[in-house]
């Protein structure tokens, strides 16, 4: 998550030569960055970083992490004192998604094969941030039955668990629309060929409207062939990083959804530089209902503390990270849930900021 990172003061001095320490970042065995300090000679200047650079060794032995560090000077007033601020932007990607070496590609392929029930999905790894890679992935899906077309990312957190998590929001939305023909609505961003639409369709004992969105037309054509006969099911080809525009182009009126579910899309964006994460999350904010039952469910690899803080600052949502659910201990993915703040909570948050 690159937008919204907070700067961290690392010293105030009359000249950069007086700074006596430097920040050291290194990757641990899980692929995340840990920070510490090392002594630095007082006369050694801090070298400029004209563009983001990978830290030494970060792309070795399986690509255990990725980082971008950008240092900037911030001078204020006519005084000679300058405040040195170091802005650290981190994209920490677990090994299974960091396709930077043959080792990580092999590991990911092993995991892909292990989690798939069908040999057709056990293919060579690809760039998760590229549409061409996804199109090729979905093109493999030529089968006789719906069951053999379905494939789950982060399958250890079951779709039934996700249905249970959002059930209170669906019930509250239905209760507030007793005199309306509008159904409780669910948007699946980056829906893929998951069984989630099928599970959610029959999970609540009452009708719900489900919109499946993916930027791969091949994927949406496949999902339509799987669930096209289900009532109140929509299929949209569009980009989740331009969510408001995509929704407006596919519905007659401005739409907001009671529930938005992201199951693996954020992970895919972080396989690139991660610059599109802000656009995704801002779009979620724009199309999620403003009512306080609105819920955004994010199933992803573990988020760093910095990424969690960025999400909390970005929207009028209250986040719960690493929510303990059945099956969550059996895989590397985690469940994160955000609910829409009430008007009073929104005002309090903005005043506090």
248 or 24: which carries more pLDDT confidence? 248
Question: pTM for the complete prediction?
Answer: 0.63
CA distance 139 to 264: 19
State residue 327's pLDDT score: 85
Give φ, ψ of 120 to 5 degrees: -65, -25
State residue 125's pLDDT score: 54
State residue 148's pLDDT score: 52
169 or 16: which carries more pLDDT confidence? 169
Mean pLDDT calculated for residue range 159-188: 95
Q: Please report which helix (H) or strand (E) contains residue 320, including its range.
A: strand 317-323
Q: Where are the domains of the chain?
A: 8-92, 108-149, 159-352
Mean pLDDT calculated for residue range 219-235: 92
**CATH class label, 159-352:** alpha beta
Best CA proximity match to 199, nearest among 241, 162, 246, 252: 162
pLDDT in tens, 320-338: 999 999 888 887 889 999 9
State residue 131's pLDDT score: 56
Confidence of residue 130 (pLDDT cuts 50, 70, 90): low
What is the gyration radius of the CA atoms in the chain, in angstroms?
Answer: 22
pLDDT at residue 44 above 90? no
Mean pLDDT calculated for residue range 45-68: 38
Helices and strands per DSSP (H, E), number in the chain: 11, 12
Confidence of residue 274 (pLDDT cuts 50, 70, 90): low
Percentage of the chain lying above the pLDDT 70 cut: 56
Q: Are 228 and 261 in contact (CB under 8 A)?
A: no
Confidence of residue 291 (pLDDT cuts 50, 70, 90): very high
Question: In the block, which residue shows the tokens 């949406």?
Answer: 220
């Amino acid at each position: 998550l690159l937008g919204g990172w907070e700067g961290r003061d690392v010293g105030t001095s009359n000249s950069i030569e007086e700074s006596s320490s430097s920040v050291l970042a290194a990757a641990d065995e899980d692929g995340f960055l840990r920070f510490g300090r090392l002594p630095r000679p007082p006369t050694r200047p801090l070298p400029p970083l004209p563009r983001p650079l990978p830290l030494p060794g970060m792309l070795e032995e399986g690509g255990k992490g990725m980082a971008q560090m950008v240092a900037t000077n911030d001078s204020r007033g006519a005084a000679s004192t300058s405040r040195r601020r170091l802005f650290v932007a981190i994209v920490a990607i677990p090994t299974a998604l960091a396709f930077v070496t043959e080792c990580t590609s092999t590991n990911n392929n092993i995991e892909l094969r292990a989690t798939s029930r069908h040999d057709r999905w056990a293919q060579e790894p690809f760039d998760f941030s590229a549409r061409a890679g996804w199109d090729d992935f979905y093109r493999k899906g030529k089968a006789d039955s719906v069951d053999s077309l379905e494939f789950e990312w982060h399958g250890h957190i079951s779709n039934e668990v996700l249905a249970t998590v959002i059930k209170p929001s669906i019930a509250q939305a239905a209760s507030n629309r007793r005199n309306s023909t509008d159904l409780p609505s669910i948007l699946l961003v980056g829906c893929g060929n998951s069984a989630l639409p099928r599970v959610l369709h029959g999970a609540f004992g009452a009708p719900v409207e489900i919109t499946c969105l993916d930027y791969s037309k091949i994927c949406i054509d496949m999902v339509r062939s799987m669930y096209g006969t289900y009532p109140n099911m929509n299929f949209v080809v569009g980009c989740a990083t331009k969510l408001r525009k995509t929704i407006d182009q596919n519905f007659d009126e401005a739409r907001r959804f009671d529930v938005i579910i992201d199951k693996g899309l954020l992970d895919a964006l972080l396989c690139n530089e991660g610059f599109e994460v802000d656009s995704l999350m801002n779009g979620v904010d724009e199309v999620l209902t403003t009512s306080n039952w609105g819920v955004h469910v994010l199933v992803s690899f573990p988020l760093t503390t910095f990424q969690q803080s960025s999400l909390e600052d970005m929207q009028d949502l209250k986040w719960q990270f690493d929510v303990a659910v059945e099956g969550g201990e059996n895989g590397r993915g985690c469940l994160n849930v955000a609910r829409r703040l009430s008007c009073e909570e929104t005002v309090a948050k903005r005043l506090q900021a």
